[in-house]
Amino acid sequence: MVDSPRFMHFSDTHLGNREYMMDLRENDFYEAFNEAVDIALEEHVDFIIHSGDLFDTWGPSNRALSELKDSMLRLKEKGIRTYMVMGDHDRPRRTDYPAASIFDFLGLTLMGADDLDTHYIEDSGTFIAGISNMKGSRLDALPQMYARADLMAKAYRNSILISHQGVSGYTHPEDVQVQEIDLPGSFAYLAFGHVHVSSYRERPRPFSYAGSTEINSASEIEPFLRDGKGVNIVDIDNGEVSFSRRRLKRPRIQIKIVTTKDGFIDDVERALQKFENMVPGKKPLIISEVHGSSDFSYFKEKIAAYSDRGIFRRPLLVKESAPAVKVGEHFDRGSLFMEYFRGDKKMTDLALAAYNTATSESQESAKERILALILDGEKKGADKEP
């Protein structure tokens, strides 16, 4: 029996994502995924943990399915199995099989689709528990699942919990499904997904968001330029964890510039001089927000002159009088709704509840729950009337 299993933990690969409707961005996501698989093979891991959002949508394209198949074949040749849970992007919006489940014959084990699942790897003496994303109507059952998993893990030294949830302290408040204090304490390692910025906490129990393998939104640009994207390599020796981070070399550099018409050229030039050669063979992607101008033809002409050095999104032109909403690493959707509804907390709470329901449940289920929320709000309002 191997007493110290080694595994790779990665997450939020979003295969099939065509960010900004660009084919090259879809290819970037496949390339990052394949680089992660390369690292697993180089590190001679015993198995792989994927903590959700394998695909960008529950109905992935044939290309996305084919890319996954090819990677699973490479791992299968080396006897490396993959254990994963579903993220909110993976979960079918209607009654159907999750896309990942069709690759079980290649060593991909999907866990915790509707309830806590467990698996024991005899060769390495490793106990794995999996809980998929439980947004919406499934959320009420989540605390009990974590409690059951915690009790089961007490019988094992080498134990891993895989889960795809928003944890307090790591994401904005309206995206939290579990408080950090309520996480199970008996596992040797907690492998989480959902938050795209990586983090690692050693005590009281090793906990990590592996983060996404490619940039999925402008809010990830700042932490990406600081820390990059990567995967976790983890060894467990009789319950003691050794953690290291392997940085991916191929994710495309993205840069966001907030500037003016007069400063546009200088700011673009500075950005390109700093970043254009950081990833050989990949031009940086430039996102710009320009204040004080509506002359798009001017920027179209200037951008064309840089086409051999960078890839440019159409600039966002903002009038000086328009309020600028900064969507950053700590973006709070609740504050945005509150501003939109002019401080009406009732409407803000309803909008948040409706948004979270619509993005996490099937169409029919979402309709029913949103209607119930509206009726409940109306009833509470009527009860308060004299």
CATH of the domain at 215: 3.60.21.10
Position 326 in a domain: no
Query: At 195, which amino acid appears?
Result: V
- Residue 12 has a CB neighbour count (10 Å cut-off) of 26
Q: Are residues 227 and 376 in the same domain?
A: no
Report which DSSP code applies to 253: P
Q: Is the dihedral of CA 54, 116, 161, 167 positive or negative?
A: positive
Position 311 in a domain: yes
Q: Are residues 44 and 87 in the same domain?
A: yes
Spatial CB neighbours of 196, under 8 Å, sequence gap ≥ 6: 12, 211, 212, 216, 217, 220
Catalytic residue selected from 9, 14, 50, 89: 89
Position 328 in a domain: no
Q: Can you read off the two tokens belonging to residue 244?
A: 């290291």
Using CA atoms, how far apart are residues 244 and 376, in angstroms rounded to an integer? 49
Q: Are residues 139 and 191 in the same domain?
A: yes
pTM metric for this prediction: 0.82
Q: Are residues 271 and 242 in the same domain?
A: no
Active site residue 89: yes
Position 209 in a domain: yes
Position 323 in a domain: no
What pLDDT does residue 167 have? 96
What pLDDT does residue 327 have? 41
Of the residues 291, 318, 345, the one at which a domain ends: 318
Q: Are residues 50 and 196 in the same domain?
A: yes
Q: Are residues 68 and 188 in the same domain?
A: yes
Position 106 in a domain: yes
Of the residues 185, 220, 247, the one at which a domain ends: 247
What pLDDT does residue 364 have? 54
Position 1 in a domain: no
Q: Are residues 217 and 308 in the same domain?
A: no
What pLDDT does residue 11 have? 98
Q: Are residues 281 and 355 in the same domain?
A: no
The total of structural domains in the chain comes to: 3
Q: Are residues 117 and 218 in the same domain?
A: yes
What pLDDT does residue 324 have? 45
Domain extent, residue 143, equals 6-247
Q: Are residues 345 and 291 in the same domain?
A: no
Q: What is the mean pLDDT of each run of 10 residues along the chain (386 residues)?
A: 83 96 97 98 98 96 97 97 96 85 95 96 95 89 95 96 96 91 95 97 94 95 95 96 97 95 95 93 95 91 94 90 43 60 70 62 56 63 53
